[in-house]
Amino acid sequence: MPAVEASQLERIFREESGRAVATLVRLFGDIDIAEEMVQEAFVVASERWPETGLPPNPGGWITTTARNRAIDRLRREGSRHDRHAQAARLQQSAEPVEPEGDVKDDRLRLIFTCCHPALAPSAQIALTLRLLGGLETPYIARAFLVPEQTMAKRLVRAKQKIRDAKIPYRVPRDAELPSRLRSVLTVIYLVFNEGYTASEGDELVRADLCAEAIRLARLVAELMPDEPEVLGLLALLLLTESRRAARTAADGTIVLLPDQDRARWDRELIAEGQAIVRRCLRRNQPGPYQIQAAINAVHSDAATAADTDWGQILRLYDQLLAIAPSPIVALNRAVALAELEGPEPALIAIDSLDLDRYHLFHSTRAALLARLRRFDEAHTAYDRALALANNAAERALLEKKRNSLPTPSGR
Amino acid sequence: MAQYLLSVWHSDAHPIPDDPETMQKAFKQVDVFNAELQASGAWVFAGGLHPPATATVVRDDGGETIITDGPFAETKEQLGGFWIIEAADLDAALAWASKGSAACMASVEVRPFQGDEPES
């Protein structure tokens, strides 16, 4: 029997706990019992496996052990929990839990419950990471920079609401599916974004959040292969993640897309992301995530920044603006426009946008003004961006850009 | 099955209609909605309320009854009426609330009643 190392146990826990929790929620109708029993099963595993080696199907072992413990506990507690005891009686047979079929659907049910719009977005995110990602509460608290107690309370409250308001444990019906799926995809996107853009906190924790978001996107894509926006989100995350290494300089400052060392992009992630984008295009049911993924695919096609097919990118932004209009999309479109037609029309395009509170609006304006050699105005715009940005790495970049402007006249 | 309170809230964004035509329209729509609730078996009870200015607050203060002019909470949001329904789960209740909101042209808050299930 091969020895089982702690890191291996941790990996199995991360990969299998969501599956086990989801199955137990279905069997016992109670999230707390499911969580506790899966935890207990992992404690037993961490004591037993280093001696006995891994069982042939560790995930199935965990689910079966957790289920049996839940049944034992509910029996001990007798009729106090009528509903649960009844569920337990139905499940007394000792055959191992199959890892396929229903169980797959269980995780999908669970993610729809966790991301139910009746829960606050912050609670949706926390629950998804806790129940499907198997992340510990202190860890989630650290990732989102809130005190552990706050996060614990948030989770308890959300679970109470699921129980008391009877938030259902099922994949939504067709009529509700589009809006509910959007809520699931938003949660995954926000988890990724938190890992990708925030500069505070533990770098490893943040990389983990991105990995977790990609894992969740893969899971939903595997379970709902006919939903093009799910594939679109997965592709968008893969293509964005492919640039992670190139995005930070040795001194920790951010390197923007045109200045990145493209040799450091992850070719494997790019190939996978681009293949998914092509699959989406063939379906011809465009959505915001698919188009954003396509834009990223065009960027990752270019060997150098100068090779970028800006015409294609502009067309994609036009399409995105048509189906999901927002000032931020319009701002990004203007960046593409500047590459094609120069800074002047881009500046005109963005000046009417209502984004005065958004630091990237001012930094984009500053860059365009600098290209027009209107350095005084560029300087002022960078100042404005700096006053609004609160991310340390972004601030460092803005300062660097502002300080590299030619000395403003009259200063 | 669980019971939910669907309460109707008027606010600045969705004020109580004051022109007779809109009021009649809302009444008619709510009648249709009520009939649908009753036909489906989800109906438990419902009622529309007089304006908050008609409310009186009563509190027992150690055996003595204190009566004051209401409403209890002086807020911009006003409770205009409510339904009590039976529904299988929150999604079913939300689906009714969505129809109810369209009928009465106001926000509807959905809140579960405490049941007789054991606390776990």
- Whether domain B2-51+61-112 has CATH 3.30.70.1060: the reply is yes
Express as a percent the part of chain B with pLDDT over 70: 96
Q: List the single residue in B with minimal CA-CA distance to A117.
A: B91
CB contact under 8 Å between A30 and B2, yes or no, is: no
ipTM reported for the complex, 2 dp: 0.86
User: A143: which 2 tokens?
Assistant: 């990732």
The domain spans of chain A are 6-99, 101-219, 225-325, 348-411
- State the amino acid at position A268 in one-letter form: E
Q: Enumerate residues 35 to 94 of chain B having a beta carbon within 8 A of any beta carbon in chain A.
A: 88-91, 94
pLDDT at B12: 77
Distance from CA of B112 to the nearest CA of A (A): 5
Task: Specify whether the CB–CB gap between B79 and B40 falls below 8 A.
Answer: no
Residues of chain A predicted below pLDDT 50: 1, 88-101
Residue position matching structure tokens 């915001």: A288
Interface check B20 vs A, CB under 8 A: no
Fold classified for A6-99: Rna Polymerase Sigma Factor; Chain: A (1.10.1740)
CB contact under 8 Å between B110 and A166, yes or no, is: no
| 3-class SS of residue B65 | strand
pLDDT at A71: 93
Return d(Cα B29, Cα B7) in angstroms, integer.
16
Quick: pLDDT tens for A194-204. 888 765 667 77
- Res. B120 pLDDT band, cuts 50 70 90: very low
The domain spans of chain B are 2-51+61-112
Return d(Cα A179, Cα A185) in angstroms, integer.
10
Quick: pLDDT tens for B16-47. 778 889 889 999 999 999 999 999 999 999 99
Q: List the single residue in A with minimal CA-CA distance to B94.
A: A118
Distance from CA of B11 to the nearest CA of A (A): 21
Mean pLDDT of chain A: 89
Sign of CA dihedral A86, A90, A93, A99: negative
Task: Specify whether the CB–CB gap between B68 and B57 falls below 8 A.
Answer: yes
Mutate to test the interface with B, among A81, A116, A166, A177 (most CBs of B within 10 A): A166
pLDDT at A196: 87
Quick: pLDDT tens for A60-104. 999 999 999 999 988 888 755 555 555 544 444 444 444 444 555
Instruction: Say whether pTM exceeds 0.90.
Output: no
CB contact under 8 Å between A80 and B117, yes or no, is: no
